[in-house]
Amino acid sequence: MRLLRAGDRVAQPWKNGGGVTREVAAWPESAGFDTFDWRVSIAEVAAAGPFSHFGGIDRTLAVLQGRMRLTFPERVLELDSASAPLAFPGEAPCEGEPLGGAVTDLNLMVRRGKARGRMERMSGSVAVSGTTLVVAQAATVLRTGSETQSLGPLDAVLINGGITFSLDTMAFVLRMD
């Protein structure tokens, strides 16, 4: 298990230049936008605008704080911090609009043919295998049989291999294979 503190992340401009994101983890490590197999990031959305185009990428987005309207050609959705994560193709045209103030969101991107991923909001006992990233929405404690990690808001733990852990409060569990 590797602890990834929120305070250690560096702000990077969005691919389309319209905002900033902070990478939580990526594979391979230090991969760029064109070379990652999977990437997890947290973005701050302060103004309405188009999402970056990511051809060949499957995206999953969850709102951590705030409320946001997503407009696709075929549908309009409103997401907030209680909404289920939303999966969509990275090449799908999408406009995002914060509603009532800035939004913080969690993004999982996986390159088709290289990786698959899924994101769930979970608490209690969780059994995982493979590569798993746990991202705390609020402060929580992650416990395994031999270790305890206190996580602050937006802290993460990267897990490689099979393990069962418990979470005191809801957190996002992202599984990549």
CATH number at residue 170: 2.60.120.10
pLDDT over 70 (residue 18):
no
| pLDDT of res. 146 | 84
pLDDT over 80 (residue 17):
no
Say how many domains are in the chain: 2
What mean pLDDT do residues 32-58 have? 92
| pLDDT of res. 15 | 67
- Please count the other Cβ atoms lying within 10 Å of the Cβ belonging to residue 44: 17
pTM summary value: 0.93
What mean pLDDT do residues 128-138 have? 95
pLDDT over 80 (residue 96):
yes
What mean pLDDT do residues 106-125 have? 96
| pLDDT of res. 97 | 94
Q: How confident is the model at residue 30 (pLDDT cuts 50, 70, 90)?
A: confident
| pLDDT of res. 46 | 87
What mean pLDDT do residues 23-35 have? 91
C-alpha angle 139/26/32, rounded to 5°? 135
- Domain identity same for 88 and 34: yes
pLDDT over 80 (residue 169):
yes
Higher-confidence residue of 13 and 98: namely 98
- Domain identity same for 142 and 162: yes
- Domain identity same for 126 and 162: yes
Rounded Cα–Cα distance for residues 94 and 96 (Å)? 7
pLDDT over 70 (residue 16):
no
- Domain identity same for 92 and 23: yes
Taking alpha carbons only, the member of 53, 94, 50, 96 closest to residue 74 is: 94
| Average pLDDT taken over every residue of the chain | 93
- Please count the other Cβ atoms lying within 10 Å of the Cβ belonging to residue 142: 22
- Domain identity same for 136 and 106: no
- Domain identity same for 36 and 104: yes
Domain, as residue range, for 28: 9-111
- Domain identity same for 128 and 47: no
Rounded Cα–Cα distance for residues 140 and 152 (Å)? 7
- Domain identity same for 81 and 166: no
Which of the listed residues 81, 111, 141 is the one where a domain comes to its end? 111
